[in-house]
Amino acid sequence: MDTVTQVVLGAAVGEAVLGRKVGRKAAFWGALCGTLPDLDVLIPFGGPVADFTYHRSFSHSLLVMALATPIIAWLIQKLHPAEARYRKGWYVLVYLALATHALLDSCTIYGTQMFWPLSDYPVTWGSVFIIDPVFTLPLAMGLIAVLLLKHPPGRGHVINSVALAFSIVYLVWGFSAKQYAQRVAERSLAMQGLEYRDIVVLAAPFNTLLWRIVAMQDESYLVGWYSLLDPDDKVRFASYPSETRWLRGLEDHWPVQRLRWFTKGFYRVSRDGEDIVMTDLRMGFEGGYVFSFKVGEAGNPHARPAADEMRREIRDLSEVKRVFRRIGDPGVLLD
């Protein structure tokens, strides 16, 4: 999730754990711990594809967090000796602020390696978009209440706890909505006689009412949109080419292997001039995908490996308005 969300989530968790005992220090340290895992973006892993796929690895591991918790909690107690008697509470605060960061990230589609080093499998639920105001704003309001409401004592703490509970319920709602949207998508594909080898259903930007469906075929992929407010449970799909033939000769090239693994097969292959480009189809949509990488160069008879480079697809932000219009109007065409 975005940095603001992780800050307010960590602060809300910190306040819920120790706020009544240590005051605003709990929210401060919760917010700080809630941001720590994403500092791995400052580490150069050796290239664009490596930076892309090693983000949310060791720094988001629940095991690494468990090992780091005693160190961070010890430091906090040294800085606040008056609150050192809440030793167990600081341990709980630190670990929960760290762990909820990873757990929340796993609800997005990016890929979170929560079980590293035991497993490097990138957990991806896709049940919430990377930015979702319905999740974030209640947490922010709860923290504002903690900071501003001093009388009667404890009112801010109660409001923060209610906001935290609401956001958890919202995540459960997202899981349920995604499962329903996937069943609708699979039925629609079957009714239309459309064959596919894999399917992923993703929360649309900023909400959990609209869902984007990507179904992979051999040399193409299908994209459809489904809103929980649609009058009928039928998804219209558009087909787009994926020129996987351009990867011939690149099968053993590390960036290609890595992207195949990280995207779980949901990628597009295209040629841009002499460049062979792989695009993650899970983040963004047609004409505006977030992560595209040059992985090779055209050759004769097959492509040649090349140093990976990140490419950007620029899309007009006004398209977001069409996404929101699509929630209540199935006639609005996206992609």
Check pLDDT > 80 for residue 318.
no
pLDDT of residue 10: 98
Check pLDDT > 90 for residue 236.
yes
Cβ-Cβ contacts under 8 Å for 197 (sequence gap 6 or more): 216, 217, 218, 265
Burial class (CB in 10 A: 0-12, 13-18, 19+), 82: exposed
Check pLDDT > 70 for residue 229.
yes
Confidence of residue 316 (pLDDT cuts 50, 70, 90): low
**207 closest CA partner among 139, 135, 140:** 135
Q: State how far the Cα of 279 lies from the Cα of 293, in Å rounded to an integer.
A: 6
Amino acid (1-letter code) at residue 69: T
What pTM did the predictor assign?
A: 0.93
Q: Contacts by 219-224 with C-beta closer than 8 Å and gap 24+?
A: 219/243, 219/244, 219/245, 221/266, 221/268, 221/281, 222/189, 222/194, 222/196, 223/285, 223/286, 223/335, 224/185, 224/188
Q: Which two tokens stand for residue 184?
A: 């609708």
How do residues 93-104 score in pLDDT, each as one tens digit? 999 999 999 999
Check pLDDT > 80 for residue 287.
no
How do residues 159-202 score in pLDDT, each as one tens digit? 999 999 999 999 999 999 999 999 999 999 999 999 999 999 99
Place of tokens 């009928």: 232
pLDDT of residue 333: 78
Confidence of residue 301 (pLDDT cuts 50, 70, 90): confident
Question: Is pLDDT larger for residue 319 or for residue 69?
Answer: 69
Average pLDDT, the chain: 94
How do residues 110-156 score in pLDDT, each as one tens digit? 999 999 999 999 999 999 999 999 999 999 999 999 988 876 778 89
pLDDT of residue 314: 64
Count of helix runs (H) and strand runs (E) in the chain: 9, 8
pLDDT mean over 17-29: 95
Q: State how far the Cα of 192 lies from the Cα of 213, in Å rounded to an integer.
A: 15
How do residues 81-90 score in pLDDT, each as one tens digit? 999 899 999 9
Asked if 72 and 33 touch (Cβ cutoff 8 Å), the reply is yes
CA triplet 115, 119, 120: central angle to 5 degrees? Answer: 90
